[in-house]
Structure 1
Amino acid sequence: MTPRAILLDIEGTTTSIAFVAETLFPFARKHLVEFVCANPEVSAPILAEVPGDDKVATLLGWIDEDRKATPLKTLQGLIWEAGYASGELAGHVYPDTPDALQRWHAAGIAIHIYSSGSVAAQKLLFGHSVAGDLTRFLGGYFDTTTGPKREADSYARIAAALSLPPSAILFVSDIQPEVDAARAAGLQALLIDRDGTGGDVHSLAQVLP
């Protein structure tokens, strides 16, 4: 069944995991204290959601362990926004990503993103990508506020938000438990393995070619 919408993961799917781990996370870690001190009104409500007495230390620890916590993702997104605006950051996408987005968009298939990174961070990455502004191809964004990516209920919520039957949506991710959760919710789903050692596809060029 040809899907009416495609739902894409980011890390390992559209974008190198190394970019997130080796560029974005260190950038946020380096500028976190500076950002919090310089933007108290913006930071205060975010910090209020962080447990512990030393909230900055907690956030730094979360960065180191790649904690999928919404307050951290929100703050990281704000820090990255400044980096993209200054030109210090440019969002990595695999060479096949812009081609695939353009192909699906031209075919009338709606394209959406579902990532553990905040919606703001997603828009920044695709809006300031190494291939230019790709947001014109994207119809919607979902993050951890929708629910964990390894739980079927999250995908059911996305289908409801898109006003589509789950079977009309194709989810693509490099994480098997995420693919399993999407399938459990009734979505079509493909496991992408860019190393070419497994998975259903090895590039986005193979998805609805």
Structure 2
Amino acid sequence: MLEEYLCSSKAAGIPTFLYLDKMGRRKLAIFGGAAMAVPHLIMSGVVGKFDGKWEANLGMGWFGVALIYIYVLCYACSYGPLAWTLPAEVFPSSRRAKGVGAATAMVWLANFIIGVVVPEMIIKIGWGTYLFFGIFCTLASVFSFFLVPETANKSLEQISQLFGDHAVANEEAVYERIRHQVWDGHAHGAEHAEVKQSI
């Protein structure tokens, strides 16, 4: 079963990496959060009703397994790839290396915490575990709708301006001013040389 989980999650992520620019990061974050919330919320109801009665309700048990696979596929198509794509885009150039490093560390730290905490949550609060994660997936979708700008098909400079970082624009203005000064100086020097030759 673990092999099926790993294979399905990897296969589901391939189309996202291929068409991420066409789909857009923001839409993927919004719909991905909502899509992950649905199986969690349904699972909370299923576990709440049939917990301790699985032998008499094998069909619902397999339905629960299917819901987990649906969640895995939704994650692999959305937040799985986005966790590696967005951090590389949203940090300004001066902080990108440290920012991406910190984001990567947080992803693995979150994986570790979930691996340790979730089994205890299932034992102690049962169906509430799925409700908890369903609510947070919903909040992730709402957060993305209101606060996450679209970064697809934008240059790093344009993305920096989206987040209020005008350092790149200021640098471009300085380069443009220098270019004009050098060009104007060169043109003025050429005119001066022509005047000398005519004299």
* Structure-1-length-normalised TM-score: 0.24
Q: Which has the higher strand share?
A: 1
Report the TM-score, using the length of structure 2 for normalisation: 0.24
- Higher-Rg structure is 2
